[in-house]
Structure 1
Amino acid sequence: MNTRIWHGHATTWRAVTVRRAAALIGCTALVLAATGTTAEARPRELGRQTLAAGDGWASDGTGTTGGSAAAAERVTTVTTWAEFKAALAAGGSAPKIIKVRGTIDANASGCDSFAAPGYDFDRYLADYDPAVWGYDQVVSGEQEDLRAASAAEQDTAIKAYVPANTTIVGIGANAGFKGASLQIKDVDNVIVRNLTFESPLDCFPQWDPTDGDTGNWNSEYDSAVVYGATHVWLDHDTFTDGDHPDSSLPSYYGRIYEQHDGELDIVKGADHVTVSWNVFADHDKTILIGNSDSAATAAVDRGHLKVTLHHNLFTGLVERAPRVRFGQVDSYDNHFVADPTYGYSYGIGMESQLVAEHNAFTLPDTVSAALILKKWKDAPLTASDNYVNGVLTDLIAVHNAEIPAETLRSGAGWTPVLRTRVDPARAVPGLVDHRAGAGRIC
């Protein structure tokens, strides 16, 4: 079990989950609109709740209602992976509400069930050992072909594709997915709430000897992917590596056998996304907004990737919270809690237009506030009213003073207006730490 010191108390995510079951007093005062009702008289049924007007980019235009208008026969409760995938497929894009009860394991049968006949990991290691294969060419041959075939079997098994006009909600404090990859791809109007996602483990990472000077293991599968989709609201979810943190993974060829990818990717022209009141914990590469600098990607992403992140807790992460390319991203009222493995929070990438305001950062003495921002490409950003360990801090000025070789420019060139509530940055740790994540919603 992965245990970390969190605000001075030894805790585990399992313990947090247990506490949340008995702590519904931590339900947020988030104003939620419901079709045909006022905010004050909103329905208690989670599946019928919709995103409030003005709540981030997902409220723009047509807004985000998910499956709130579902007919009775399109409201389903599921307890197994097979039931969940069947519920997604039923009824096409007609509005649907899928209620998840308990933890559903998408890989309950284990990695061996995906292995192609003849695939032998020990033989793979022997065939592609750098002492034998070298570092100059990508791997190929029988065992690599069998690894790829095995990976394709896992890909089919653990990915679930969400149709348009769908709401997926967890029932109670302990609902969620383990080993699953939720694909919100090329659809409109999706809501995902009150679920815990334990990051899927890639059973068949690929060795790439040409990646860097000494090669790397590369993995697939994010917990959730928003790919070319529009009007998506992810709210009160928890994303974590759970029982399989990177520290538990072995090493081969002197490199960690990386079996995790991201927790959330928003890519390929996705647009109008609100990510609110979530917990992102214990992970390396966390959130990617825009996945490439290439000309082909730029043609798809320019003018899109409008994302709001507010009232999220980012704790025990290494990097990408988020890393941004192209998009107009509004990140406010979030709490970032670092440990000594911290790399950075905001990655400033190709043509990004990031606004980072009213956030709180809790850093250990060994981590400088200059690391909060990471420059990948030259792109101006707005960073104001941010507090580091309770002190108002100019993140751009601190970064430029300590890392002058990567000077950042101020001024994102736009002003966010889609915010229903802005809490004082100094109040954010107490507010977000007690109300964000799965199991803390009315």
Structure 2
Amino acid sequence: MTEAIDPQVVDYVHDIARRARVASRELALLNRGQKDAALLALADALEAGAADVVAANAEDLQRGRDKGMAEGLLDRLALTPERVQAVAQALRDVAALPDPVGEVVRGSTLANGLTLRQVRVPMGVVGMIYEARPNVTVDAAGLGLKSGNAVILRGGSAAASTNEALVNILRDALTHQGLPADAVNLLTEGGHDAGRALMTARGLVDLVIPRGGANLIQTVVTESTVPVIETGIGNCHVYVDAGADLTKAAAITINSKTHRPSVCNAAESLLVHRAVAADFLPKVLAELAGEGVVLHTDEQAGELAATAGVAHDTATDEHFATEFHALEMSVAVVDDLDAALQHVHRYTSGHTEAIVTEDRAAARRWVNEVDAAAVMVNASTRFTDGGEFGFGAEIGISTQKLHARGPMALPELTTTKWVVEGDGQIR
């Protein structure tokens, strides 16, 4: 039986949710010009307050180091002045995007003269439960505003100071724009009970989106009574086919693993066709090791690593199933495309899977047979990202199959309503 939630925490969260509901009704009526002006003002305010944000972030980073937080997680937590500027630019990018609210998804005129239109409308109140990713705070606020939704944020305690500094800036900027501060809300009290109260505030909150590790996501999916869009972990693979251009394959592998290893679209496993393994693996494993990557290899890959003098250990099923969030990679030699597909089917988290090949038939099979939110052909796994896809920002990457899949941006934060217009028709 789930432990009861502290009633005072429930009251605290429900009060915020009611205020967010009021704000959401006002946001739903804004036109694009008003929303875009507000987004630009938020971006300017963030840049103006960057020093305060970085100072607050330094407090979180120090607490994380004192508690022994892993380097990969510290990297996710860190906000440098450049990263603050990038987060502000993401708001400007969102402002430049079309407004999804009011878009007619489909429509028709019935034989009786009734006209039907299915129109995009805001969700209402969206809850975000996430871990040490303070950029999510701003992305969620910006995407929520543009799509006409109020957001309630429950960030992890590791980023508490940073999130509070960011939300204070955002709320002040909204007020100066004449918009409700409660368009953006941060749960600062109640600990884990606040997250549980948020995900069970059915009727007050319309949607909850978890973003973080497997345990967080599973907890929200299993305990929430509010509808959930499940964002998944990223156990991503790069498969180098017999028909690969090995120069491309090396660049894609290195970029997929080392560009930013702490994020969910970083590659965790490398699969190489036996026909090209001897030519490809010694060099690329040496390059990976040179970048500081710890290598976990199967027997054949290990033999090739040894010939190149590259340090490695023996890969286990646990290695192949792990999202490392770090400079670690599992490596296997496979007999053929079928074996690569079988390996991916066994271990994939359904996030991003990449093939490197010049063989069009092999590429088609990969695209058709791999079950993932994003499938790459001759491109790095790092491209699975709302910003890279041209969405301005993302609120998460969904690995489920209902409503939204892949990078979630503005359209995924809307629902639809049917508008039916007649001239006195009765049934």
Do both share a fold (TM > 0.5)?
no
TM-score (norm 1): 0.22
TM-score (norm 2): 0.22
Larger radius of gyration: 2
Greater RCO, 1 or 2 (C-alpha within 8 Å, sep 6+)? 2
More helix by proportion, 1 or 2? 2
